[in-house]
Each structure stands twice: as structure tokens, then as C-alpha cells.
Amino acid sequence: MGSSTPNPSHIPVMLQETVKALAVQPGGRYIDCTLGGGGHALAILEHSLPGGQLLGIDADPEAIKVARTSLEAYSSSTLLVNENFANLQAICIKYDFFPVHGILFDLGLSSLQLNRNGRGFSFQHDAPLDMRFSPSQEVTAADIVNTSSEAELAHLIRTYGEEGYSHRIARHIVKERPMKSTLHLARTIERAIGRRRGKLHPATKTFQALRIMVNRELENLEAGLKQAVDLLGFEGRLVVISYHSLEDRIVKQFMQQEAKNCICPLDTPVCVCGHKARLRLINKRVITPSLSEIQHNPRSRSAKLRAAERIVIQDDCCGSAEVESFLAEVKARAWRRPALLKKLELVFSTA
Ligand SMILES: C[S@@+](CC[C@H](N)C(=O)[O-])C[C@H]1O[C@@H](n2cnc3c(N)ncnc32)[C@H](O)[C@@H]1O
């Protein structure tokens, strides 16, 4: 932990709601794609006793180290991997960890990362402008602020920070370059747009934009979600906690699309997409933290939880492709039961 860190620990957000949305069951297999300090992972392991298994993934090697300690009691049932969830399927294939009963994404960064000096995520401590989740990534926030054009910076701050004063901020940054540290950048932004009483710190949105850009957060989220659905067994749950509207929009649209049988544009007279629903939405309305959780953990205030369940592909007609995909789904339902799989193989070969 950073030596001057007042409260380095990470409080898992909507813990009970997450365990419930994942429908954690004894003996289940789960993937935590954003392990962080291991708070959610620990609860999943506790609720999946006896026999539960967890694959924990985090891009940040520091997070893996912290989680290894917090999950020590379950070391024989956990596999922790320092990887990016954009490679989710490859990771699961490599470790032969599928199909699973549930997959969790708790997006963004942890308090461990925010509070740790030297990572550059916070405008409260002076540090190099880094902001990478993993030291193996090449581009840092300093590279972006010091080499992008004014127009590129304004666009980035507007798009990923949803900042209304993006042009003014970009102009001041370019005038002040090279940007040497987090505090240098935060003060430049403050000079550009001033401090508004009772509002967010003026640097909040620009820091968010840079972090999203450095870590390609939105692209990785889209890639991770797409791969997650194929890894879920029948009735397996996908649960995502997001912290800002850009993430939540991606999650909402993805789940809604995967829950539809046709995704043709509304004015298409006959379906030409052939899309089949693979998910059922669990909660029609987004789940948010209670007032008491927000009071106890202010970081949770913007959190939104969405959950969906893997379904067998539904179809009215039954051509041979449909039969095949139905049988594939039934196979997924057999989980890891070789005897049952053998029986199903027999059925397939005579079907
Ligand atoms: C909000 S924290 C998770 C906290 C965790 N649920 C807990 O209870 O301690 C998000 C974590 O996701 C990780 N992360 C973000 N994007 C990632 C990605 N694309 N691949 C893997 N890990 C990622 C971050 O490094 C961070 O540790």
C-alpha cells in the first residue's frame, strides 16, 4: 500500500445484490473478471461452498497480489490470472475453465489503485501521469496529454469525460505542456475552468477520460461482454457493475440486444438478421446501492448493476441448424459430467 494512504482498502460495492444476481450456488464455477482486492470474489467463494471454484482475473499485477492474500483460505479453489478480460475466452480455454455458472464484471478502478501513490489515477496526490492498469501497457496518460493535438485532446475529454468545457481545458493543457505530474494537470484544469462550489473537482472528468483512453476501457468492455455469453452454461448469470454512463450504456445495449430474437432496424418488414436471444434480463430496472451503502461507501454512489441469464436459443421453427444449436445448448447444460456427455453424443449421432 502507498505509505501515506489513509484508507487503502477497497469496499466491494453492492455485495449482497451481486451474490444474489449471480445466484451463487454450492459447487458452482464462477469467473470474477475484475478481481481487484478480492472482495466480491471472497463472497462468491463463501456462498459456493462446498466445492465452488473461482477464476479471478485482473490486468493489474498488484491487484492479483492483494487478492492472493485476501483469498488465501480458498487457495485450492481459486485460480488467479494477471490478464486482460478482453482475452476472456482465450484465458478460459487455456485453463479449461468453462462452462461456468456466473461471470462478474465490477468495472473501473479500485480504491487500492486510486489511493496508491505513484499510479497517477488520483488528482489528490502528486505522481507521474501514468494511469495504466498494467505496466505491460505501452501508452501512459503523460504520452497522451503531451503528444495529442489540441483538437484530439478536446475530443477525448469531451467523449470519454463527457466534459462540457473540453475545448477550454485542452487549450490550457497545450499552452502549459509538457505536463509533468497529476497535480500539474489538475491545477492547469482548475485554472482553465475554475472551481464551482459543491460540484465535482474540476479535474474529475478529464482524469476519467484519460484513464478510459489509456486502458481502452470501453473497447475491452465490449470485447469481454461478447466473449462472456459463450462461456456461460444454461442459466448461467452475467452480472455487470458500472460506474459511469458510458460503461452503463454499453452494458445496457449489449444485454438488451442479446435478449432479443431479432435486431433488424425497426423499419425492416421481415427479419433478415437471424439473431436469436441468448440472454434473459434478470432485473428489468437497473439495481443501485441503498442510501445506507452510499453513506458508508460514497464511492458506490454512481454504481449500477445489471444482470442477465443464459437461455437456450428459442425458435419457432426447427430446421436442422436450429436442432444443432439446441443440442449444443443441451450439451452446455451437461457441465462437466462426462457420463452425461457420452449419452448426449449417442443421441446426437442418432438424431
Ligand atoms: C472496481 S475494481 C474491482 C474490485 C473488486 N470487485 C473487489 O471487490 O475488490 C476493478 C478492477 O478491475 C480491473 N480491471 C479493469 N479493467 C480490466 C480489464 N480490461 N481486464 C482485467 N482487469 C481489469 C482493475 O485493475 C481493478 O483492479
pLDDT digits (tens, 9 = 90+) for 197-210: 667 899 999 999 99
Nearest CA to 160 out of 208, 117, 120, 124 is that of: 208
User: Could you give the dihedral angle defined by the CA atoms of residues 283, 284, 285 and 287, in that order, rounded to the nearest 10 degrees?
Assistant: 10
Asked if 211 and 109 count as a contact pair (C-beta separation under 8 A), the reply is: yes
pLDDT on residue 120: 96
Atom of ligand 1 nearest to the CA of 221: 19
Closest-CA residue, ligand 1 atom 3, reads: 36
Q: Is the CB of 109 under 6 A from ligand 1?
A: yes
pLDDT at residue 333, as a whole number: 57
Centre of ligand 1 from the C-alpha of residue 321, in Å: 38
281 strand-pairing partners: 308
Residue nearest to atom 8 of ligand 1 (CA): 39
Distance of alpha carbon 299 from alpha carbon 257, whole angstroms: 29
Coil, helix or strand at residue 100: strand
Q: Ligand 1 in contact with 106 (CB < 6 A)?
A: yes
Q: With the C-alpha atoms ordered 311, 309, 220, 2, is the resulting torsion angle positive or negative?
A: negative
- State the pairing for strand pair 29-32/53-58: parallel
Q: Does the C-beta of 86 come closer than 6 Å to ligand 1?
A: yes
Report the pLDDT value the prediction gives residue 102, as an integer from 0 to 100. Answer: 98
Pairing state of beta strands 279-281 and 304-310?
Answer: antiparallel
Q: What is the DSSP letter of 287?
A: B
What's the CA-to-centroid distance between 113 and ligand 1, angstroms? 10
Please give the Cα distance from 33 to 108 (Å, whole number): 11
What pLDDT score does 27 carry? Answer: 96
Are 277 and 142 within 8 A, CB to CB?
Answer: no
pLDDT of res. 274: 87
Ligand 1 center–CA 34 separation, angstroms: 3
Question: Ligand 1 within 6 A of 300 CB?
Answer: no
Residue 325: which of 277, 273, 253 has the closest Cα? 277
Report the DSSP beta bridge partners of residue 53: 29
CA gap 48, 134 in Å, rounded: 30
Q: For residue 325, how far is its CA from the centre of ligand 1 (angstroms)?
A: 33
- C-alpha cell at position 59: 490486468
Tell me, what's the pLDDT at 284?
82
d(CA 210, CA 286): 27
Segment 41-59, tens digit of pLDDT:
999 999 999 999 999 999 9
Instruction: Pick out the chain residues at pLDDT < 50.
Output: 1-7, 316-319, 348, 350-351
* Dihedral of alpha carbons 142, 139, 82, 301, sign: positive
Cβ neighbors of 267 (< 8 A, separation 6 or more) are none
Write down the pTM of the prediction: 0.88
Tell me the CA–centroid distance for residue 288 and ligand 1, in Å: 19
What is the distance between the alpha carbons of residues 244 and 209, in angstroms, rounded to a whole number? 11
Q: What would the grid cell of residue 31 be?
A: 469467473
Kindly give, in sequence order, each residue whose CB lies less than 8 Å from that of residue 294, ignoring residues fewer than 6 positions away: 300, 301
Q: 61-70 and 39-47 are packed helices; what angle lies between their axes, rounded to 10 degrees?
A: 40
Q: Would you state the cell numbers that stand for residue 224, as one nine-digit string? A: 469481454
Choice from 16, 35, 70 to test ligand 1 binding pocket (greatest atom count within 8 A of CB): 35
For residue 135, CA distances in Å to 34, 115, 150 come to 17, 17, 27
Specify whether the CB–CB gap between 178 and 128 falls below 8 A.
Answer: no
Query: How would you class 63 by CB atoms within 10 Å of its CB: exposed for 0-12, middle for 13-18, buried for 19 or more?
Result: buried
